[in-house]
DNA sequence: CTGAAAGCGCTTACAG
DNA sequence: CTGAAAGCGCTTACAG
């Protein structure tokens, strides 16, 4: 697909028009030193006159880097809002740093041999991107595969799974356990004693949240009540299933810590159908601060995760890594924030 | 940021190792004709041995096209799910066509002079992308700006605003008016006579939906009831505001056609707070089929827009345009689909 | 079928 | 400060 328009004006044309050498034009283009004001003006005027736009491609080949990074989303059916906002953060930061972002998706199995993983062409070929940002579920085999082509990478740490300290990775993350610990402590401080946790702990990150909850309960001499298990279904259905379990309790919990907002939503809906009101009959906290949280009525008290910030820091970290490839591994833990809205009722001290 | 690893093996090294000329290596790389099986095997083996990965950059400079397109999102605060899914569709199709997608965001005013719009560098410099897909709100000045740099473009048509036939653009879209016409007809067929429309018609696309609704009403000799107006607030608040207006009616409508799901959500919530149940007391249809639709209880009957398909067709259309730049303008209208869920009650014929 | 050479559009020492 | 030349890693006619 050759485009006729592209045949147009190159640096040589500009040099000829300005009556100088191509080297001089190049120096003007790159704000290089050693160029007189008069010369610069002469060249600039020729550039304007010819409507010259330098060919980034040819520059990159000499500079040996691309000014472009790849945002790779793995094993997600679609770019749902949590990751879309991380991507948005990446783009914002990239744009400020005069970098470009390419978006690519990948589906792979954790059991595929590392060297059998078919990377998207943008990673497989050289000369596209300087580095890659991994989002979506990241297993060790993918990390190994990308390391095998010697392309710098950083990952959204909360979705890195099954590493077991076998090797390390540069990452930006937030602390699932600590955040859930604090959320649970808040609920307890509001006077609740029977506090249940609802979540599918077969997900690593939910398991971490469960442990944070568990710690908080124990630190207050309270017995954890786990409504866990592993379901194939969507989180919302999981919440609905769990609601039935909650109601069946001989002594019903007065509060529920849901592993994420989708589960909280399912719980809320199911409980309401059974005539249980939130927060009058049972209190509820979520995690992630997704759209659901504000759609609920009253709006959900939940742990806010700053998705755009995660994206920005991923971009920062990657650029840092590109600058100093031999630097030590870096793990950046971003704060979360419990946003108190309307779903936790203060219980009178009994 | 030069990376030592990049210094590594180039096509000349491979040629030397295989004892052939670089031309031959290149021909093998490109599946060119005129290369014997034995030769091919010899070269391939050298490539494997050296771990050679061709430099896409150097290839592109000769081929005069990039194999990459830009998804440009304009005037959106963040990549919310509607556009995220369009982007996902673009990526899916691009990947199948061996193309790459770069994501960029832009904020600009419709009143900025066309040549004053500061395009992102990825468009401003030559040699990054072959074409651009416009999403988010697209005004004539942006279209003109992009045309001025002679880069092929296609747009998500429903968000193109203020063109007034002054000039044309290749677009993929769906028919707002027709879709809303059909949704309204459906409501009428369920026995409703007093059907209101709720939407901020200062948005072009909502105005088109209003006209579709209006047509449908008139075609059945019914009087349109418009709860419109222009609000700065978010759609959900608009819906909540409109709910009060609906209740204040001397003869309350039995059904509401909401201009989109967010407005429908606001309506639903507000109505419920006032003790009006959906659909028992009032029926409701939305538009877009966003997340809200399934979060409502009962789930919302709404007009489904196939976002991934829009993305795929945008990519198809752009590639078509790259192949035949002189082709006539193309407008591709995609079907929508009324998904009947639980918010429209069938009224007994009276 | 294959090699040597010219060239893509740029940058960067190297002389002057 | 500036020009002419060499070179980045590849592809593509052109001879053989």
Segment A197-241, tens digit of pLDDT: 999 999 999 999 999 999 999 999 999 999 998 777 899 999 999
- In Å, how far are B186, B207, B336 from B178, measured between CA atoms? 12, 12, 9
Query: What pLDDT, on a 0 to 100 scale, did the predictor assign at position A65?
Result: 83
CA-based R_g, chain B, Å: 27
Contacts (Cβ under 8 Å, ≥6 apart) of B221:
none
Rounded CA separation B123/B146 (Å): 8
Closest residue by Cα to residue B18 from B58, B47, B61, B54: B47
Query: What pLDDT, on a 0 to 100 scale, did the predictor assign at position A165?
Result: 76
**Cβ <8 Å between A5 and B150:** yes
3-state secondary structure of B65: coil
Query: What pLDDT, on a 0 to 100 scale, did the predictor assign at position A4?
Result: 34
Query: What pLDDT, on a 0 to 100 scale, did the predictor assign at position A350?
Result: 54
Separation of CA B60 and C1' D11 in angstroms?
10
Looking at per-residue confidence, does A14 or B134 come out higher? B134
**Cβ <8 Å between A53 and B126:** yes
A32 CB and strand D closer than 7 A: no
Separation of CA B122 and C1' C5 in angstroms?
34
Bridge partners for B55 per DSSP: A126
**Cβ <8 Å between A269 and B297:** yes
Q: Distance from A320 to chain B by nearest Cα, in Å?
A: 10
Rounded CA separation B40/B43 (Å): 5
**Cβ <8 Å between B88 and A78:** yes
Least reliable range by pLDDT among A24-38, B91-105, B336-350: A24-38
Helix, strand, coil percentages, rounded to 5, for chain A? 45, 15, 40
Question: Taking the C-alpha atoms of B38, B44, B46 and B47 in order, what is their torsion angle to the nearest 10 degrees?
Answer: 160
Closest residue by Cα to residue B68 from B106, B31, B117, B123: B123
Rounded CA separation A344/B10 (Å): 63
Query: What pLDDT, on a 0 to 100 scale, did the predictor assign at position B148?
Result: 87
Query: What pLDDT, on a 0 to 100 scale, did the predictor assign at position A42?
Result: 87
Q: Residue A190 pLDDT > 70, yes or no?
A: yes
Query: What pLDDT, on a 0 to 100 scale, did the predictor assign at position B2?
Result: 28
Q: Residue A166 pLDDT > 80, yes or no?
A: no
Closest residue by Cα to residue A306 from A339, A284, A267: A339
Closest residue by Cα to residue B198 from B186, B173, B180: B180
Contacts (Cβ under 8 Å, ≥6 apart) of B68:
A102, B99, B100, B101, B102, B128, B129, B130
Q: In chain A, what percentage of residues exceed pLDDT 90? A: 66
Query: What pLDDT, on a 0 to 100 scale, did the predictor assign at position B31?
Result: 77
Query: What pLDDT, on a 0 to 100 scale, did the predictor assign at position B170?
Result: 95
Rounded CA separation B331/A285 (Å): 48
Q: Residue B87 pLDDT > 90, yes or no?
A: yes
Query: What pLDDT, on a 0 to 100 scale, did the predictor assign at position B29?
Result: 85
Chain C positions with any atom < 7 A from a protein CB: 1-5, 7-13
Separation of CA A23 and C1' D5 in angstroms?
11
The residue to which tokens 């879709």 are assigned: B179
Nearest residue on chain B to A91, alpha-carbon basis:
B104
Cβ-contact A207, A349 below 8 angstroms? no
The residue to which tokens 């449908």 are assigned: B216
Summarize pLDDT for A96-111 with one digit per residue, the tens.
Answer: 998 999 999 999 999 9
Closest residue by Cα to residue B169 from B206, B207, B142: B142
Supply the mean pLDDT for chain B: 91
Summarize pLDDT for A131-160 with one digit per residue, the tens.
Answer: 999 999 999 999 999 998 889 999 999 999
Q: Distance from B48 to chain A by nearest Cα, in Å?
A: 13
Cβ-contact B311, B268 below 8 angstroms? no
Summarize pLDDT for B2-35 with one digit per residue, the tens.
Answer: 233 445 788 888 888 888 888 888 888 887 767 7
Report pTM: 0.90
Summarize pLDDT for A282-331 with one digit per residue, the tens.
Answer: 999 999 999 999 989 899 999 999 999 999 999 999 999 998 888 888 99
Contacts of A237 in chain B (CB under 8 A): none
Highest mean pLDDT among A165-169, A310-314, B158-162: A310-314
Cβ-contact B125, B139 below 8 angstroms? no
The pLDDT of B74-102, averaged and rounded, is 93
Q: Pairing state of beta strands A337-339 and A301-304?
A: antiparallel
Ordered alpha helix ranges (H), chain A: 11-18, 22-29, 37-50, 56-63, 81-96, 121-124, 140-148, 176-189, 204-219, 235-248, 261-273, 291-295, 307-323
Chain D positions with any atom < 7 A from a protein CB: 1-13
Rounded CA separation B119/B50 (Å): 41
The residue to which tokens 């398909």 are assigned: B309
**Cβ <8 Å between B102 and A104:** no
Tokens describing residue A113: 């041999």
Q: Residue A44 pLDDT > 90, yes or no?
A: no
* Candidates B47, B58, B74, B102, partner chain A, best to mutate (most A CBs within 10 A): B102
- CA angle B63/B67/B72 to nearest 5° reads 135
Q: Pairing state of beta strands A68-74 and A131-136?
A: parallel
**Cβ <8 Å between B95 and A85:** no
The pLDDT of B67-75, averaged and rounded, is 95
Looking at per-residue confidence, does A6 or A292 come out higher? A292
Q: Distance from B193 to chain A by nearest Cα, in Å?
A: 30
Closest residue by Cα to residue B84 from B307, B332, B290: B307
Contacts (Cβ under 8 Å, ≥6 apart) of A216:
A180, A181, A182, A184, A185, A188
Write phi, then psi, for B90 (nearest 5 degrees): -60, -45
- CA angle A305/A308/A311 to nearest 5° reads 105
- CA angle A209/A211/A213 to nearest 5° reads 70
Rounded CA separation A148/A57 (Å): 26
Summarize pLDDT for B236-292 with one digit per residue, the tens.
Answer: 999 999 999 999 888 999 999 999 999 999 999 999 999 999 999 999 999 999 999
Nearest residue on chain A to B307, alpha-carbon basis:
A78
Tokens describing residue A93: 């930061």
> What are the strands of the beta sheet with B301-304, ordered from one edge?
B225-227, B195-198, B255-258, B283-288, B301-304, B337-339
Which of B71, B78, B120 comes nearest A95 by C-beta?
Answer: B120
Rounded CA separation A295/A286 (Å): 13
A110: DSSP letter:
T
Length of chain A: 350
Q: In chain B, what percentage of residues exceed pLDDT 70? A: 97
Query: What pLDDT, on a 0 to 100 scale, did the predictor assign at position A349?
Result: 64
Ordered alpha helix ranges (H), B169-276: 176-189, 204-219, 235-248, 261-273
Rounded CA separation B139/B134 (Å): 10
Query: What pLDDT, on a 0 to 100 scale, did the predictor assign at position A6?
Result: 41
Q: Pairing state of beta strands A255-258 and B153-156?
A: unpaired
Cβ-contact B89, A103 below 8 angstroms? no
């Amino acid at each position: 697909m050759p485009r006729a328009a592209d045949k147009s004006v190159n640096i040589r044309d500009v040099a000829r028009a300005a009556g100088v050498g191509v080297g001089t034009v190049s120096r003007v283009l790159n704000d290089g030193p050693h160029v007189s004001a008069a010369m610069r003006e002469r060249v600039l005027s020729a550039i304007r006159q010819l409507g010259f736009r330098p060919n980034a491609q040819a520059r990159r080949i000499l500079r040996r880097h691309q000014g472009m990074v790849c945002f790779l989303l793995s094993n997600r059916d679609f770019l749902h809002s949590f990751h879309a906002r991380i991507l948005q953060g990446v783009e914002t930061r990239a744009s400020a740093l005069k970098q470009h972002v390419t978006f690519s998706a990948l589906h792979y199995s954790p059991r595929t041999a590392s060297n059998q993983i078919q990377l998207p062409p943008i990673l497989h070929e050289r000369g596209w991107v300087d580095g890659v940002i991994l989002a979506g579920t990241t297993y060790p085999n993918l990390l190994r595969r990308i390391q095998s082509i010697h392309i710098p990478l950083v990952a959204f740490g909360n979705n890195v799974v099954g590493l077991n300290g076998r090797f390390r990775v540069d990452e930006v993350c937030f602390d699932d356990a600590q955040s859930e610990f604090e959320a649970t402590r808040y609920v307890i401080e509001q006077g609740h004693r029977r506090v249940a946790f609802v979540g599918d702990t077969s997900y690593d990150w939910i398991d971490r949240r469960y442990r944070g909850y568990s710690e908080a309960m124990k630190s207050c001499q309270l017995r954890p009540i786990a409504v866990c298990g592993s379901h194939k279904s969507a989180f919302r259905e999981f919440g609905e299933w769990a609601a039935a379990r909650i109601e069946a309790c001989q002594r019903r919990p007065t509060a529920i810590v849901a592993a994420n907002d989708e589960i909280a939503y399912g719980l809320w809906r199911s409980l309401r159908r059974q005539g249980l009101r939130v927060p009058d009959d049972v209190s509820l906290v979520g995690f992630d601060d997704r759209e659901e949280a504000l759609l609920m009525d009253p709006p959900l008290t939940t742990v806010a995760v700053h998705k755009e910030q995660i994206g920005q820091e991923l971009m920062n970290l990657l650029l840092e890594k590109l600058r100093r490839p031999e630097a030590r591994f870096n793990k950046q833990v971003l704060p979360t924030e419990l946003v108190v809205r309307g779903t936790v009722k203060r219980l009178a001290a009994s």
